[in-house]
Amino acid sequence: ITIGQEQALSSLTPQEPSTIIQFTYTSNAQMYSILKRTAAKCSHISHVYSIGRSTEGRDLLVIEFTNNPGQHELLKPEIKLVGNMHGNEVLGRQLLIYLAQYLCSEYILGNQRIQTIINTTRIHILASMNPDGYELAASEGHLLNGWTNGRTNAQNIDLNRNFPDLTSALYRNRRSRHYRTDHIPIPDAYWFGKVAPETYAVMKWVRSLPFVQSASLHGGDLVISYPFDYSRHPLEERMFSPTPDEQVFKQLARTYSLFASHHEQGWTC
């Protein structure tokens, strides 16, 4: 580093205290410990709860941040962030663990932006939806692990493709005057297939809280995919099929892509 670069870096050093996070991959046991310790450190704005268990019995642990934890408040937006749906895609998992630590630390340090966010919204973070897949991928290590090993859950189910297809139901019924697009029923045929316990837990979670914004972080490519991304005509996959919320989704996608343009990080709303 040259003298000029050193001076430039020193000028960027914040005068206020800032959060220092150890950037390292965490095992499932370490993840649970970090989330619980973070919630204990910030018990006035945070707590942890389980939405269920994985196929092999591991907790699907959520950490929540708000100024009145444990309570849904009328007109306070509920936000859901999910990582590690594919067990061997760990970047999103780690980012959400770091985010939980950051929110707690910065709130305590008096970061006004973070305090405003936590005081006016309720943020739920599920850092790992697929702890079983992660366990398999981690046990093999990055030198031996292929892109499919640990991707699925312990039942060999791809959780990202295990949720019901409501897009097709919307397109089939969109001309019906009385069909509600905000409460599309799950097709009966869906339950004849194999529904993973991790998928079912998230579906119950979604039913229990009125989430207004959600994101699922994946790894491996820079892609942003938002709801109703199937084509109206299944044989024409690239056909543009906008939804009534097209502009909102585009704005969210654009905001995230500009922020993450230097990271290999996929995002699914």
* pLDDT tens digit sequence for 18-38: 777 778 889 999 999 999 999
Neighbours of 220 (CB within 10 A): 13
Q: What is the pLDDT, as a whole number, of residue 3?
A: 43
- Residue 260 within a domain: no
pLDDT in tens, 184-198: 889 899 999 999 999
Q: What is the pTM of this model?
A: 0.85
Q: How far is CA 256 from CA 110, 234, 265, in A?
A: 25, 28, 10
Least confident of 25-34, 116-125, 219-228: 219-228
Indicate the residue type of 164.
P
Q: What percentage of the chain reaches a pLDDT higher than 70?
A: 87
Q: pLDDT band for 122, please (50, 70, 90 cuts).
A: very high
Tell me the pLDDT of the chain averaged across its residues.
85
Contact 226, 269 (CB under 8 A): yes
Instruction: Tell whether the model's pLDDT for residue 238 goes beyond 80.
Output: no
- Residue 45 within a domain: yes
Token pair for 200: 């079912």
Strand stretches in the chain, DSSP E: 46-53, 59-65, 78-83, 122-126, 211-219, 224-225, 265-268
Token pair for 57: 């019995």
* Highest mean pLDDT out of 82-96, 174-188, 247-261: 82-96
Neighbours of 139 (CB within 10 A): 12
The CA distance from 223 to 253, in Å, is: 9
Neighbours of 171 (CB within 10 A): 16
Which residue from 165, 123, 135 is spatially nearest to 54, judged by alpha carbons? 135
- Residue 12 within a domain: no
CATH code where residue 94 lies: 3.40.630.10
- Residue 242 within a domain: no
Token pair for 184: 């599309």
**How many folded domains does the chain comprise?**
1
Domain span holding position 177: 18-219
Cα-atom radius of gyration of the chain, to the nearest Å?
20
The CA distance from 242 to 51, in Å, is: 33
DSSP secondary structure string for all residues of 102-167:
HHHHHHHHT-HHHHHHHHH-EEEEES-S-HHHHHHHHHH-TTT--SSTTTS-TTS--GGG-S--HH
Q: What is the pLDDT, as a whole number, of residue 134?
A: 96
Q: What is the pLDDT, as a whole number, of residue 145?
A: 61
Query: Residue 55 contacts by C-beta under 8 Å, 6 or more apart in sequence?
Result: 132, 153, 154, 155, 196, 197, 198
Q: Which helix (H) or strand (E) holds 254?
A: helix 246-259
- Residue 2 within a domain: no
- Residue 139 within a domain: yes
Indicate the residue type of 180.
R
Instruction: Tell whether the model's pLDDT for residue 261 goes beyond 60.
Output: no
Neighbours of 213 (CB within 10 A): 14
